[in-house]
Amino acid sequence: MSRTIISVKDLVKNYGSFNAVKSISFDVMEGEIFGLLGPNGAGKSTTLEIIETLRSKTSGEIMVDGINLDKNPSAIKNIIGVQLQTSGFYPGLNLVELIHLFGGLYNQKVDPIALLKKVNLEEKAKSKSKELSGGQRQRFSIATTLINKPKIIFLDEPTTGLDPQARRNLWDLIREIRAQGTTIIITTHYMDEAEQLCDRIAIMDKGSIIKLDSPDKMIDELVNSGFERPKQTKAANLEDVFIHLTGHQMRDE
Ligand code: ADP
C-alpha cells in the first residue's frame, strides 16, 4: 500500500441538535478498496457525501489527494467519480446518449462504447435505461462514475437489491476497476460483501468508527480472543447451492 489519498480528521456532522457523525478520523490508501460498513443510520452516506463535497460538514479536516476540501472543493470534484442517482437516467435516452449527456456535464469527451465495454454493457448501447435489469442498471451507474477518469470512485451500497449472480458480477467489476489503479470507497451493510471485496473496513455505528482494520485481522483477533461460533456451520450455504445450480456467469441480461 502506497500513500494516503484521503485523510479525514475529527469529522463531525450535526443535523440540528442530532449528532450524526461524531468526530471520526481515518485514512484511505491509494489503490485500496476501503469499506464503510454499518447498519442503517450509522452515518456512512453522510460521511461519504461530505468527502464528495456534496454535503457540508460541521467541523473537521478533509484532504483528498493533497487538496484541502475547505479550500478547493471543485479541484476535488475533478478527481473523484460519484454514482449518479439512477433516477437521473432520463428514461427516453439510450445508454450512448446518456453517456454523451453526462460527458457534457463533466466537460469530458468520452468514447461511449469503450466505457460500456468496461462494464460489459456494449450490447445494450442502444437500449434505454428503463429497459435494463437491476444488475445492468448498477453496472451502468458504475460506468458513469468513470466518465471523468477519476482517481477515486465512491460507491454507495452498489449491490443493494441485486440477486447473488448480479452481486458477484458487480464485485468482479469493482475489482477490475481497482486493478486499473482507481481507489474505491464503498458503503455496504452486507458483511459478506465487505469481507470479499474490501482491503480494509471501518465499522461504523451510531456516528462513530468502532473498528478499523482488514477483514482478516478483525476475524483473527476475534478468534484469538477465544471466540467460537456456537454451532459449526456447514461447509456451504444456500447461496452456494444457488450459484452452483444456476452458474456464476452473467445472467442478469
Ligand atoms: P447510513 O448511510 O449509515 O444509513 P446516514 O448518513 O444516511 O446513515 O444517516 C445518519 C443519521 O443521520 C441517520 O440517523 C439519519 O436519519 C440522519 N440524517 C441523514 N440525513 C439527514 C438530514 N438531511 N437531516 C436530518 N437527519 C439526517
Q: Which atom of ligand 1 is nearest to the CA of 156?
A: 2
SS3 category, 209: strand
Task: Give one word for 200, left, alpha or beta, with left for phi > 0 and alpha for psi -120 to 50.
Answer: beta
- The per-residue pLDDT string of the chain (253 residues; one tens digit each, 9 = 90 and over) reads 479 999 999 999 999 999 999 999 999 999 999 999 988 899 999 999 999 999 999 999 999 999 999 999 999 999 999 987 666 678 888 999 999 988 888 888 899 999 999 888 999 999 998 899 888 988 999 999 999 899 999 999 998 888 888 889 899 999 999 999 999 999 998 888 999 999 999 999 999 999 999 999 998 888 888 888 777 677 888 888 888 888 766 555 5
Tell me, using a 6 A CB cutoff, whether residue 63 lines ligand 1. no
Ligand 1 in reach of 56 Cβ (< 6 A): no
In contact, 188 and 38? CB cutoff 8 Å = no
CB neighbours of residue 98 within 10 Å: 20
Listed residue (111, 170, 122) closest to 146, CA to CA: 111
> Which atom of ligand 1 is nearest to 187's Cα?
2
Measured in Å, residue 24 CA sits from the centre of ligand 1 at 15
pTM: predicted TM-score of the whole model, two decimal places = 0.88
Residues 6+ apart with CB under 8 A from 145: 81, 82, 83, 84, 153, 154, 155
